[in-house]
Amino acid sequence: MSELINVDHQRVKTNGIWIHVAEQGTGPLVLLLHGFPETWYSWRHQISFLANNGYHVVAPDLRGYGDSDSPLNPDSYSVIHLVGDLIGLLDHFGEQQVFVVGHDWGAIAGWYLSLFRPDRVKALVNLSAPYFQRSRTSGVVDYFRELFGDGCYVYQFQEPGRAERAFARYDYLTVMKKFLLLTKTDYLVAPPEMEIIDYLETPSVLPKWITEEELQVYADKFQESGFTGPLNYYRAMNLNWELLAPWQGSKITVPTKFIIGDKDIGFESIGTREYVTGDVFKRFVPNLEVVIIDGHHFIQQEKAQEVSDEILSFLRKFTMD
């Protein structure tokens, strides 16, 4: 916690809503985009590291999370909205081009920011969530349901209120432990008649990379903000499919480093390893470097220094002295 003492906090009006950002350092701007179910705090190790190495680090709570506004309509969580929020942040800070680092849903936001507005992104470092070309034939949710059945977490998260009610059977700290300490390597599919939150285990012993106090920071924030905003990202997935039709076949040309843990969810079992090391990924992201490291899904926390070093080494290639 001590390295976060000098982090500044503010709320910025962008794209019609207020977005909370944590900020530290001076120099070229680096935008750090968190995933589900996290906040800006998931970058606590990288913020001071990058700031101390000469960067202006800005880590927002994405819409629906933490101290940012949480629109009620699930349709307000499309990738068009997310990218709009980020463009407004860049304009607020007066930056024409920035570095972007994303994890999970933050990586998805980073992919689409780079696809829609490559003029605003110097270089991209994305973690855990590869870029997938839009299917020509079916929406994402239908695809996941056909592949994994009704127990798939993406499908279970669709119905408004369903996951919220299931999560509410546990205290917030337990929910955080079930997700952030996840060690399952198969895709997240609950057995029949079981909710995904019930299927996830609660470790009795914490791993060395996170403390009870750090987990409590997340729990306290989600107790304030709830889970509906974060879950609405999943509820907008079919809408994303509809909206993304004009970009069918488009490539992401921004220089990109992609980092993933070899024990991430589905890395081996659903072909992620083959995809990220194969030709198809590079066809759609031609200026791509892939790094596979020893770790699980929340890799920037679990392997904080290794990920920080990988980020810095890539940014330095594009940073003028």
Q: Which residues are catalytic?
A: 104, 234, 297
| Pair 308, 295: CB distance under 8 Å | no
What's the rounded Cα separation, in Å, for the pair 91 and 84?
Answer: 11
Taking CA atoms, 205 is separated from 208, 209, 211, in Å, by 9, 12, 10
Strand partners, 59: 22
What's the rounded Cα separation, in Å, for the pair 232 and 64?
Answer: 8
Cα angle 190, 191, 196 (rounded to 5 degrees) comes to 25
What's the rounded Cα separation, in Å, for the pair 217 and 21?
Answer: 16
Amino acid in position 205: V
Q: What are 143's two structure tokens?
A: 């695809």
| Pair 150, 194: CB distance under 8 Å | no
Which residues lie closer than 8 Å to 155 by C-beta, 6 or more apart?
A: 141, 144, 145, 148, 149
Indicate the pairing of strand 17-24 with strand 8-14.
antiparallel
Chain Cα centroid distance, residue 198: 23
Which residues lie closer than 8 Å to 134 by C-beta, 6 or more apart?
A: 241, 244, 245, 247, 248
